[in-house]
């Protein structure tokens, strides 16, 4: 599912990694474990983690701007929830197939829909029948239902995708309340009008939400924060000014640089990462327990073929898939060979008219990372009567397909070995066995291939994204095919799925620390992020080729909620600090005043954007030794002593003054300076490092990104 805009004024929803997701009714199995929340250290069985310390987010209201919600699902039940907070001023708005008096409860406490902006731009009423939608808060696409259940869904046992990922589904803050603001509609594949998004922000603020989860993002190029066409930066500014933390998706335009979206410094911008779960699927070559190899072997294949000949059993590989059920699929294995004078038949070139695929399993090689074209190719194999497909593609960008059709993904290396077999036997055969769920080692954590990357294209001095969270193959609720059921689940991927993970964590922190500002919560999350795998290994960023992850991939790292609950120090900010940023950007007083809704006069000397009190430091054009200032607030033990630790690549020098911070009952806030200089004498790319304050217990890490600029830059 992919959302597109038909007008530049529209805010485009960036949804899952484009892919066809098949959904089945829930089947019941023996309960095992869930993954993303346990993976993040928020198991419901632990009494000492943030989940239980915060009473599962009790009393916090999470608002979502999305595609709507399917309220009847079991994941939105209100069992064991207390009364709706008296401060709540929202409503449950009735509409098409949505009775407000029945749809809401003590879990889903509010639901609204906004479409006047879309209809005004479209020039005619929105036809819900033609677009398979509802003129109400009801969700028809599944996106809003999925994100809502991730952020604050209730416990539902025995949830799975047809047996895969079996466990108990729940949201990050199952004790929190939810409110849905439907702003996205299925016109031309899916659009959200700026006017509707901005109106939803205003209503959510007035309704009394504590957290706003916004899995939407605009296309590049981005509008400035004071441009009226940018509804998310404007609406989020008003929300943050009222003490509401706004969490937004970084976008799905990775792994290209400068594609990160939602870059305003008051927004908590979320990248997507994987979890330590995979779905290995056996591929067995051969027939009747023997691989039959012809006498005509190709140079370079002989060693591999000789190894096959010495075995009397089937040769096996592992692919990745979501091939469910109990039955295997066995058939002839084919590859679309063509003359060397013709272009190769890659996966994307397959057509439903290729009748040679009927009754066979097809091996193909993907030529490029174009998920939409690849999806079409897989469906073409099915339409042509094929029994399955093995897709060979780069190991840095493949995720299992969730469709009721055997579609396995393998690396180019494995695909090449399978092709050797096809070319070396007169009757190639293959058997595909059902997938299984694997959790833990050796599966590692990576920044997802599709996750948008920094630096920010409009404000490179502000590090984005801020943090990464699980966003690949996340199992959560979706609208059911059968409207009589109360449970349906699907795996979806995207920064849209990562965003509500962080929104749920923000709700837990807000419940534990109701007086913390959005900036303090954001700081706690960024400075405690994990920059290495839980087992001690490094975190990689998927790409061409994969590389070690850096701040432009995941900001402060992978979100670490239990450490965020005890950060030690925070870099706090308020509206005055954000006005400092707006003045530093050179916006005129009139535009800033319009955004802040009160008169603003910037100082005659333009302030430095490098001094915005963020928990990160980025210098995009270091020409001479530069001093940055920061202020930290102690939220840990009253009497504390922190020492500075600097880590940086050779050639970049970082000096911190003072090197020691001493807090007491009288001294809760301390400012310090950081001088950064470079020994490089040529223009270069970014170098990365960090400044960490530690008292021996707390580790408060700020990522630093520096690019040296000597003279005129020619790129």
Per the residue annotation, which of 213, 273, 435, 496 is the catalytic one?
496
| Alpha carbons 291 and 306: distance in angstroms, whole number | 11
Using alpha carbons, list the distances in angstroms from residue 8 to 22, 222, 253, 263, 493.
Answer: 31, 11, 18, 18, 26
**Beta bridge partners of residue 686, listed in sequence order:** 707
Q: Which two tokens stand for residue 110?
A: 């509010």
Rounded Cα–Cα distance for residues 233 and 235 (Å)? 6
Measured CA to CA, the distance from residue 159 to residue 487 in angstroms comes to 8
Would you call 66 a catalytic residue per the annotation? yes
Catalytic residue among 54, 133, 143, 563: 143
Q: Residue 652 and residue 618: Cα distance in Å, rounded?
A: 13
Asked if 713 is an active-site residue, the reply is no
Phi, psi of 50 (to 5 degrees): -60, -35
Q: What is the DSSP letter of 226?
A: T
Distance (Å, whole) CA 132 – CA 187: 9
Q: What share of the chain is helix, strand, coil (3-state, %, to 5)?
A: 20, 25, 50
Q: Any idea which residue has 């969270």 for tokens?
A: 469
Q: 279 — phi, psi (to 5°)? A: -130, 75
Buried b (16+ CB within 10 A) or exposed e, 322-356: bbbeeeebbbebbbbeeeeeeeebbbbbbebebee
**Is 340 part of the annotated catalytic residue set?**
no
For residue 658, whether the previous peptide bond is cis, meaning omega lies within 30 degrees of 0, is yes
Instruction: Identify whether the C-beta of residue 452 lies closer than 8 Å to the C-beta of residue 260.
Output: yes
Q: Is the separation of the CB atoms in 554 and 447 below 8 Å?
A: yes
CB 446 within 8 A of CB 542: yes
Q: Which of 66, 133, 139, 196 is catalytic?
A: 66
**H/E stretch holding 494:** none
Query: Which residue in 574, 567, 602 sits closest to 588, CA to CA?
Result: 602
- The span from the CA of 237 to the CA of 579, in Å, is 11
Say how far apart CA 464 and CA 512 lie, in whole Å. Answer: 26
DSSP one-letter string for 641-704: EEEEEEEE-TTEEEEEESSEEEE-SS--EEEEEEEEEE---S---EEEEEEEEESSS-EEEEEE
Residues tagged active-site:
66, 143, 496
């Amino acid at each position: 599912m992919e959302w597109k805009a038909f007008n530049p004024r529209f805010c485009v929803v960036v949804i899952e990694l484009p892919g066809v997701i098949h959904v089945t009714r829930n089947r019941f199995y023996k309960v095992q474990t869930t993954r993303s929340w346990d993976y993040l250290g928020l198991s419901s069985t632990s009494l000492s983690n943030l989940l239980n310390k915060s009473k599962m987010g009790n009393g916090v209201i999470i608002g979502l701007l999305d595609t709507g919600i399917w309220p009847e699902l079991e994941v939105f039940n209100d069992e064991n929830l207390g009364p709706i907070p008296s401060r709540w001023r929202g409503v449950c708005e009735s509409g098409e197939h949505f009775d407000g008096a029945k749809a809401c409860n003590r879990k889903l406490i509010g639901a609204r829909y906004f479409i006047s902006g879309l209809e005004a731009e479209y020039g005619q009423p929105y036809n819900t029948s033609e677009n398979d939608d509802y003129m109400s808060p009801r969700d028809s696409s599944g996106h809003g239902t999925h994100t809502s259940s991730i952020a604050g869904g209730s416990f539902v046992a025995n949830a799975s995708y047809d047996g895969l990922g079996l466990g108990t589904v729940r949201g990050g803050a199952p004790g929190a309340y939810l409110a849905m603001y439907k702003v996205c509609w299925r016109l031309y594949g899916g659009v959200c009008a700026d006017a509707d998004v901005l109106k939803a922000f205003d209503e959510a603020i007035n309704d009394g939400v504590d957290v706003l989860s916004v899995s939407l993002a605009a296309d590049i190029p981005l509008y400035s924060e004071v441009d009226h066409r940018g509804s998310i930066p404007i609406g989020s500014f008003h929300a943050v000014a009222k003490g509401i933390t706004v969490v937004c998706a970084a976008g799905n335009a990775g792994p290209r640089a400068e594609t990160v979206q939602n870059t305003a410094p008051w927004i908590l911008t979320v990248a997507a990462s994987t979890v330590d779960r995979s779905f290995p699927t056996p591929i067995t070559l051969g027939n009747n327990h023997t691989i039959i190899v012809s006498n005509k072997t190709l140079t370079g294949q002989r060693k591999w073929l000789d190894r096959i000949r010495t075995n009397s059993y089937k040769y096996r590989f592992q692919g990745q898939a979501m091939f469910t059920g109990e039955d295997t699929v066995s058939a002839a294995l084919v590859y679309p060979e063509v003359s060397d004078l013709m272009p190769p038949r890659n996966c994307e070139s397959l057509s439903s008219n290729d009748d040679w695929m009927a009754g066979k399993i097809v091996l193909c090689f993907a030529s490029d990372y174009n998920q939409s074209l690849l999806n079409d190719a897989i469906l073409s194999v099915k339409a042509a009567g094929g029994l399955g497909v093995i897709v060979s593609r780069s190991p840095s960008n493949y995720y299992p397909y969730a469709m009721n059709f055997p579609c396995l993904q393998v690396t180019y290396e494995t695909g090449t070995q399978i092709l050797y077999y096809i070319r070396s036997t007169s009757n190639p055969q293959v058997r595909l066995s059902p997938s299984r769920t694997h959790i833990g080692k050796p599966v590692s954590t990576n920044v997802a291939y599709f996750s948008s990357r920094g630096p920010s294209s409009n404000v490179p001095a502000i590090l984005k994204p801020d943090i990464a969270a699980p966003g690949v193959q996340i199992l959560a609720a979706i609208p059911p095919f059968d409207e009589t059921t109360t449970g349906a689940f699907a795996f979806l991927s995207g920064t849209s799925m990562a965003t509500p993970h962080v929104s749920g964590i923000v709700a837990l922190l807000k419940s534990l620390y109701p007086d913390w500002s959005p900036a303090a919560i954001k700081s706690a999350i960024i400075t405690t992020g994990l920059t290495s795998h839980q087992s001690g290994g490094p975190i990689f960023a998927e790409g061409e080729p994969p590389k070690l992850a850096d701040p432009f991939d995941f900001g402060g790292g992978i979100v670490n909620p239990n450490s965020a609950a005890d950060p030690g120090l925070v870099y706090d900010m308020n509206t005055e600090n954000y006005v400092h940023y707006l003045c530093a950007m050179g916006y005129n007083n009139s535009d800033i005043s319009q955004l802040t809704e009160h008169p603003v006069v910037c100082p005659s000397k333009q302030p430095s954007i490098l001094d915005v009190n963020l928990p990160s430091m980025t210098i995009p054009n270091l020409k001479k030794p530069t001093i940055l200032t920061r202020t930290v607030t102690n939220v840990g033990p009253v009497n504390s002593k922190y020492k500075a630790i600097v880590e940086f690549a050779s050639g970049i020098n970082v000096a911190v003054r003072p090197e020691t911070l001493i807090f007491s009952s009288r001294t809760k806030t301390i400012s310090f300076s950081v001088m950064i200089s470079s020994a490089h004498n040529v223009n270069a790319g970014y170098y990365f490092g960090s400044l960490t304050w530690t008292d021996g217990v707390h580790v408060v890490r700020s990522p630093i990104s520096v690019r040296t600029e000597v003279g005129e830059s020619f790129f």
